[in-house]
Structure 1
């Protein structure tokens, strides 16, 4: 897939959108390894957001045993694609991590504008809508990686 051997989805706490995007991509690609998620603010390993776990489970994805992981300098290299949920997280990464390269928002990477909705504190249907959006964006990411791979 392109020149990247690893893809990391980054969200604020790594307890919702990032891990969900990671698992959606793994489900779509099957055996492709090297898909992970990280958080910008992870003080200790936390379980996933219960509403995100419920939505994921309804789609055949198990997030129950997953815990959050902090993004580190070692996560960056020329073979790693880093996709953030929001523009502000992309900015924080470039400001705070000296090794940061290949960092895009998910929407920016596929040619769309704006940030991905954050359902935190919302109803279950809000989380469901985020799942649908992430699923669509993940398909576009995979298509883009495959297009560039075949050029």
Structure 2
């Protein structure tokens, strides 16, 4: 089983959407998926617009935010951040995780700007655009991890 942790800032927008989208995309394929935030307050619900965008895709996600901690670092096999600054923050506090922390877009080979735009405080359309960015990267991630698993057999 591969354990994947998606990380953003407050764990109420991007990383919970990534978690829910990837979980649905890879259901039954042997992945465990969680999300956390580098500056999250534990127990907050996903933002209203994040929930609406997921609902538009037929996904229910009962999310409560989690602050990134050593237990989550140890739990994960792969940590994918929404921005380079999230990656740098993780490495500052958890340098031992260096080999498993990557920005999502760089890890899957998306050229150009490597950050997933933060929709926090934006419109529903901003959240839809964010979800589209995430889905592009998560589709690539799914293919990449399936190839990797095939090589391990």
Correspondence list, 1:118-133, <5 A = 118-133=118-133
Spell out, residue by residue over 1:32-54, the C-alpha distance to the aligned partner (whole angstroms, 9 max, x if none): 34111011112331111111111
- Unmatched segments (≥5 aa) in structure 2: none
Q: Secondary structure at the match of 1:76?
A: helix
Contact 2:4 2:80 in 1 (8 A): yes
Q: Which has the higher helix share?
A: 2
Retained in 2: the 8 A contact 1:77–1:99? no
The CA RMSD measured in Å over matched residues stands at: 1.7
> Is 2:113 the counterpart of 1:107?
no
1:2-151 counterparts in 2 under 5 A?
A: 5-31=2-28, 32-63=30-61, 65-77=62-74, 80-101=77-98, 102-112=100-110, 113=112, 114-151=114-151
Please report the TM-score for the alignment, with normalisation by the length of structure 2. 0.88
Contact in 2 for aligned 1:90/1:105 (Cα 8 Å): yes
Runs of 4+ in 1 over 4 A off after TM superposition: none
**Pairwise CA distance, 1:77:** 4.1
Give distance in 2, aligned partners of 1:127 and 1:118. 8
Residue 58 of structure 1, CA deviation: 0.7
Q: Deviations over 1:110-138 (max 9, x none)?
A: 11242011111221111111111111110
Question: What is the rounded CA distance, in whole Å, between the counterparts of 2:116 and 2:6 in structure 1?
Answer: 12
Query: Aligned equivalents of 1:43 and 1:77: distance in 2?
Result: 20
Paired residues of 1:14 and 1:69 also in contact (CA < 8 A): yes
Which stretch shifts more, 133-142 or 72-81? 72-81
How many equivalent pairs are there?
147
Gaps of 5+ in 1: none
Post-superposition offset of 1:79: 6.0
